[in-house]
Every structure is written in structure tokens, then in C-alpha cells.
Structure 1
């Protein structure tokens, strides 16, 4: 994306071409991603075969409105995520990702854990029980909208076991493409800061979860001061361990940072899990803590307006994965939402089922 299109927010037309110095890194990224994709595609297939979420009786019935999804169109969108990721590595925007399979024994353990938990997830889905965690002691102090089993996952956001399992769950769900999709936000931020001295830059990864994107940030910007923030104690502990960076437990509605104190905030897959009344509050808090000229690197689900051909898939997501606020997110005008907080779109990108925006605070 050239300088003009980055500032206008026009869609990215082409992936960058690799420089000679990083061509081998790009090839390595592509090869490791292929192995990872094959592994998590197989693991996801096993979990779906065991649970068979589209069959049998369930409290929530899915009645699609959109047209059937073309398998060829879906495959093209899926593969494009890996193509963009590898091309960005080859262009030197960021180093090869460290989210490959790594230790085969650990990858096997993670897959078995996800598969073993699949039946419990499916039982909650069939009961329509997305608030089981509200019965757990110690959750009362959290916002009511947060006290849910998002994705019908065991433990919600509250347990160490959930935090350990989460990354494997999303990779199995998205057939190994989760990391490549998230890094569309990293790509936008790396382009924006290309050639800039990282020393002195302060970045917070908002709702850092179990730390996969926080680890990407730490690898891409090793000299910057980077920390995670999450409302979950368990997930924050996992993020610290995964990334080697510090973190703070706090609510995104009341960020514990001074006005105009951060050069960048990153936010990945948070806004579709916020009620409509909370989204403007969080957007305003992000704008408050950014310095003039600071940026928000945002990534979340694509919306039907972005991918009409995949609209049926987007309709299915909240039905099968307990996403109570997703339907309002799907219709939200994100540039207007952040514009009301004083942030303007400076760049955008998307891959497979994720869209990314770079939003800038005016000087």
C-alpha cells in the first residue's frame, strides 16, 4: 500500500513484493504456516466430527438468510490470509511469526485438549447455556456482560485451563489461520512506523487475551515499551508467559493510563464481544490515552458489508458460538464509531474473516 492509499483508507490492492534480504524469511513463514494449517485443519475436523454441532436438537436454531457460501470463494479468502502474511515477512515488515507448531509433543497435547473439551462445549451449545460461569464464585465483581461462556468455552474468560486452551481453540476453529488474520493489524502498524526509531515508543495491547498478538508485537518492535491489558487474571498470566512482556489487569472502560501517554494501542477481537452501549466508551478511552498523532491498530471480524459472499458464515457464527453482541457489531459503522471519539481511518486491510483498521488521533 503506498503512502497515499494508506492515508486515504483505500483497500489494499496488492501484497508487497519481498526484498532479497527477507525472501528466505518469507519462504520459511509460508512453509511453517502450511504445516500449521494442515495440523489445525485436521484437529478442527475431529472436534466437529465428535460434536456434530449442526445435527441433533439444540436450543438455538440457525435459520440462514444469506446465500450458500461458495467453497471456492471461501478457500480463496482463506489462502489469501497466508499469502499476505508471508509477503509482509518477505518485505521486512515484521519477522517470521513464532506461532508455528514448535514442539510436536506440545502441539499434540494441545490438540487432544481441544478435542477432549469439544463435547463439553457442544453440550452447552445444545442447552443454550452461555452464562454457566456466573455460578462460579469470584466472578461477581466483573461486568455482567463479561460473565459469559463466550464461544460456549469451558471456564469463560476466568480459568487457567481456558487461558491455556484458547489459542489452540481458535486455531482449530479457523484451520490454522488465526495468527495470519490477526497480523493484518500488525501489518498496518508496521507500515505506519516503518523507518521510525522504536526507542521511546509506548504500546498497549488492549484485551490481550492469552497473548498471541502481544507476542507478535514484542517480536516486531523489540525496542518499544510494550505491555498487555486484560480484564482476566488467568488470561493476563498466560499473556505474560507467552510474550515475555508485562501486563495490567484492568477494564477497557477505564484505562489506567494518563491522557495522551501512549503512541499506539492495539485491539484485536474485542469489539464484537462488547455490548453496543460499551463500544463508544472504550473507543473514547482509547482516544484519550493516545498521544496526538498516535494510532489504534484494530482487528476484528469482517462484517457483511465487507464480504457479502460470506454473509451466511457470519450469520452462523453467533448461533453456534454464543456471541450475544455479534449481530449489533456486524451492522456497526466502525469509522463513525471511532470518528465520534476523534479517531480517523488512516489505513485498512482484511484477510479471510478478519478486517483491520489503522485509526489516527489528530495532531
Structure 2
């Protein structure tokens, strides 16, 4: 009876997130149509059959999430972990930022940064208003709004999709069962606000966790969040994933969540090769990112409109990019792929 009640509570929570996200999108669209009626005229509405397919995938994702908790992959408490304080604090700011976003879209401004934002020294492909958000990834406000914005985009399932890396991560670490838990090292590349590292800490309380990101603002947010968790603080470093500042064969596992669709093709290969370099022989590298066209040909219209709707300049190429070939070129083997809702996962192993 307890499990039934817990599952019902979990389903109610996720449905509430989904309904809230839908309401937010509906109201913001209506407001945009009133204030900027010409914006988005070329973007076609999502057909009902695609919406039905998405709902089916969403239901499957939530069931997988519940089952993984039941199997002990992670504690049930993770199912209910949500930064409510941030939500109530920053949601009004999401609305206040929308007019700036719409004005930026209207003027086709995709590299628009406030004068106080330092943009020198970053790769040109990174200095973008990804998702049309103000100051891209380079401001504290952006870092504060990011997790909420992504939850609204994915109907409250961003963390649910992040959690799909935990089962293959734990499975991959079995190759190092003789290593004391405190000596196990895991790197999250492009760790952002630290949500993935927080999930890892819940299932691997003794492991040494590391995170890199290009944005000092997002690293500050990650440090603020992760420092509230008892135990060893993950080691966060500002670094370009094209030049990871670690020794060869240093990590037992490496992960990357929602990064590769925001990289140019050549950079994707470089980052994969860097991840291979720093992974120990026998270690595992896990990518979580967007689904690709070959996984869901019926989603073509949705994928076609996504880059324009959310300013993702490298997404279209990503949808047809052969990441398995890229992983194999770098030296990875035994590559497994999974698809959950809107995300795709590559689980690759470095030869022992």
C-alpha cells in the first residue's frame, strides 16, 4: 500500500509539473502573439499525432524512472527532489525576461550581451544567446533561471532524463569494484548548475566527483547548490571541454548531459577525444543529449522547428550526426544506445 501511495504521489507531482509547463507555454504564447504578432509565423503547430506520441513517451519515461527507484538504482527521495525555493524565487523573473527574448528574436540578435558581460577568451561558438536567453550562459541571472527554464521546456522531466545516466553509470563502475569507493573518480563535462553532479552524489556518496564548465556564473550556481550537501564537495573547474585539464586515464567514468547539440561538428569530435583521453582503460563514457532524426523520423517537423524556436545553431547537424562513429574513431567500443522521451544516451567503454 505504501508503494502504491508513493507512486501515486510521484505521478501527481510529475503531472502537476507537466500541466504547469503547458499552462506557462500557452499563456506566454498568447502574450507573445499580442505583443509581437509577427514572431514565429513560420513555425507550424505540432500535429496531434505527434503530441500523442510524445505523451506516450513521457509516460514510458516516468514508469522507467519509478522502476529504477524501486530497483535501488537511486533512492526514492530523488523522485521528489526539486529546487522549490529557486522555483518560487525565480519564476517571476522568467516572465520579466520574456520581452527581452522576444525583442532579441525580432531583431535576429543571437550574440547580444550586456556591456558588463566579459566575452573575451571564449570560443566563438559559445558566445551565443542559446535559447535566446539573456546573456547566454555568462550571467548569474541566466544561471539562476536555467534549471527552471529547462524544466518548463521539457514539462518537468529534465531531471528525470538526467537520471537515466545513473543506471549505466553504476553498471560501468562495476569494472572497478576492487577500487575503494573514495578513490573512484567521476567527471561531469559541462556540468552547468550541478544538477547531474547532485544526482550522482545521491547514489555515490563516497566517490570523488569533478565538474568542468566554461561559465563562471554557472559554476558559482553549482557550488552554491552542491555545498549544501553533506560530504565531500565536488571539485569544480572552469575549463573548455576541448582541453580538459586532467591527466590521461584519470577518471573511472565521464559523463556529459545536454552538451553535444550545442557544439559544432568538429568540436564534438575533439571533446569526445578528450573524454577518451581522461577515461581510465575499462572506464565508461556516457552522453545524454537530444534524440536524433534516425530515432524518431516522425518527429522531423518538431526537430526542424526546434533550432529556430530556441536558437540552437548546431542542433540541425547534430540530429543527423553519427556519434557512434565519432566515439569509435576516438577509440571507444561496445557502444550502447538508449532513447527515453526526448533524450538519447550513448554508453561507451574504453578498452581495458
Aligned residue in 1 for 2:293: 304
Question: Alpha carbons of 1:277 and 1:93: their partners in 2 closer, same or farther (altered >3 Å)?
Answer: same
- Distance in 1, matches of 2:44 and 2:26, equals 23
For residue 280 of structure 1, the aligned residue among 255, 269, 277 is 269
Q: 1:48 to 1:100 in 2, by over 3 A?
A: farther
Contact map agreement 1:209 1:236 (CA 8 A) in 2: yes
Structure 1 equivalent of residue 325 of structure 2: 336
Deviation at 1:345, TM superposition (A): 4.1
TM-score if structure 2 supplies the norm length? Answer: 0.88
The alignment partner of 1:133 has SS state of coil
- Measured in 2, the distance between the counterparts of 1:98 and 1:335 equals 31
Partner of 2:208: 225
Change in Cα spacing, 1:234 to 1:32, as seen in structure 2 (3 Å) is same
Match of 1:33 among 14, 37, 40: 14
Aligned to 1:242: 225
> Residues of 2 paired with 1:336 and 1:307: CA distance?
19
Given the superposition, is the C-alpha separation of residues 41 and 153 from structure 1 closer, same or farther in structure 2, using an over 3 Å criterion?
same
Structure 1, residues 129-187: CA drift from partner, whole Å, max 9, x if none? 11112865521111111111001001101000000000000111111111112222223
Is 1:130 the counterpart of 2:110? The answer is yes
Partner Cα separation in structure 2 for residue 201 and residue 25 of structure 1: 33
Change beyond 3 A, Cα 1:69–1:146: farther
1:344 is displaced (CA, Å) by: 2.2
Unpaired segments of 5 or more residues in structure 1? Answer: 1-19
Change (3 A) 1:101 1:40: farther
Asked if 1:156 corresponds to 2:136, the answer is yes
1:27–1:86 CA contact under 8 A, matched in 2: no
Pick one of 73, 93, 107 that aligns with 1:113. 93
Q: Deviating runs (4+, > 6 A) in structure 1? A: 20-25
- Matches of residues 70-219 of structure 1 in structure 2 within 5 Å? 70-96=50-76, 97=78, 100-101=81-82, 103=84, 106-133=86-113, 137-193=117-173, 196=177, 198-219=181-202
Larger RCO (CA within 8 A; separation ≥ 6): 1
Q: Match of 2:27?
A: 46
Once the two structures are TM-superposed, the CA of residue 273 in structure 1 deviates from its matched residue by: 0.6
Partner of 1:17: none
> 1: distance between equivalents of 2:26 and 2:81?
19
Within 2, Cα distance between the matches of 1:227 and 1:21?
Answer: 37
**Partner SS for 2:182:** coil
Counterpart CA distance in 2 for 1:80 and 1:146 is 34
Unmatched 5+ residue regions in structure 2? 228-233
**TM-superposed deviation, 1:247:** 0.5
Figure out how many residues of one structure are paired with residues of the other and give that number. 342
Deviation at 1:89, TM superposition (A): 0.8
Match of 1:11 in 2: none
| CA RMSD, 1 decimal | 2.9
